[in-house]
Structure 1
């Protein structure tokens, strides 16, 4: 599946997703557009309602039409007094994602020990209610695949370290929300470095000009000391 981005109603929609006529429309392109749309719809339908993803209304050719996503983005709320609650919600949400039947969600066999991995998880992929910290939507599923739980957890930590450096003290809430203790730093950093390399490989195939950026991020992440 291709990487998709999402926005809430009233905000500009990057990528191939937008809100039109009261619904979220996710559009796919290329020779496999119809198959990609069908696969994305299967994924969202498998996740719902265990995970609050956009609920699919219909698949029309190369377009998946869903209920709109409303509320406030977690990247905005991951700051100051609300950072701990946002990251705890991220942890609980990932725990729910990783309990979903990956074989059904991805339409293929799942290896022993593998889980459904979001692939680009962080506060920016969660929407909260406008008047509370209740999760209303988990979006951005274009990189979903079979993997290990630490991939999502460590990548969420990477997003916090790179986008919300003032919230590092709240990071334990991510892992506690997931239901466990923080893994050793060496394991978490290794997972972050591996993910940067994975992003570099994706960018190299897309040839969209971001490959060099991901190479640089990989080197910077590998040099982190905690």
Structure 2
């Protein structure tokens, strides 16, 4: 399936089977299973139908991937949907015994949202393998990073994301720091998996990110 960077995902129109590749595959599989189960009925996520084998079998959810809708000219609607659903996620009470923070997706952005193109409502947040408890800036910054890096012509839609989130957004230096931290995490992930292309790509992306200014997304 498109935009599946770290895993193999296959669907038949009724179910989706996700198999985990790369470092800590079993840990990431269990983390995703746990969060999908925890959040079922709380925020839009696909149902877990089976945990047999080396992957997860999930229920198929209708919707168009958010990046595809941005590319089709619907950046404002997609970024507003991102902000609305992220506020819902960050408002969920963490599981008992959790460290301070809020539930964070860890790879949040239009890349991991399915959206109804008619209503612009989010039908599912997918790919929870990096989820945990953390600071809201982690998700706020990464959604903005996805737009800045992959859809630079639509950076002017990022304020729609912040407005729909509805809570104070950390200042640009904090957001950029969170972006760079995530780039470093993904560089290390690639170093453990493949020592060539992935590492160089994330080094290049970190350098680009470090050079950004606040711009219209402030």
Q: TM-score range by the shorter chain?
A: 0.7 to 0.9
2:16 to 24, 28, 43: 24
- Measure how far apart 1:125 and its partner are: 0.8
Tell me the equivalent position of 1:155.
Answer: 142
Give the TM-score, by structure 2 length: 0.84
8 Å contact 2:32–2:130 — kept in the other structure?
no
- Measure how far apart 1:183 and its partner are: 2.8
- Measure how far apart 1:19 and its partner are: 0.8
Tell me the equivalent position of 1:52.
Answer: 44
Gaps of 5+ in 1: 1-6
1:224 aligned onto 2:212: yes
Distance 1:37 1:196, change over 3 A: closer
- Measure how far apart 1:207 and its partner are: 2.5
- Measure how far apart 1:102 and its partner are: 3.7
* SS class of match (1:225): coil
Give the TM-score, by structure 1 length: 0.82
Larger mean CA deviation between 82-91 and 18-27 belongs to 18-27
2:60 to 49, 57, 68: 68
8 Å contact 1:69–1:137 — kept in the other structure?
yes
**Pairwise CA RMSD of aligned residues?**
2.6
1:43 to 24, 29, 35: 35
1:214 aligned onto 2:186: no
Tell me the equivalent position of 1:123.
Answer: 110
Gaps of 5+ in 2: none
**Cα deviation 1:92-118 (Å, max 9, x = unaligned):** 1112222334436xxxx4212x22221
* SS class of match (1:121): coil
- Across the two proteins, how many residue pairs are aligned to each other? 212
Q: Give the Cα–Cα distance (whole angstroms) in 2 for the partners of residues 213 and 200 of structure 1.
A: 8
* SS class of match (2:170): coil
* SS class of match (1:119): coil
- Measure how far apart 1:36 and its partner are: 5.3
Tell me the equivalent position of 1:3.
Answer: none
- Measure how far apart 1:129 and its partner are: 1.8
Distance 1:37 1:12, change over 3 A: closer
Tell me the equivalent position of 1:4.
Answer: none
5 Å-filtered alignment, 1:128-143, equals 128-143=115-130
1:185 to 160, 169, 172: 172
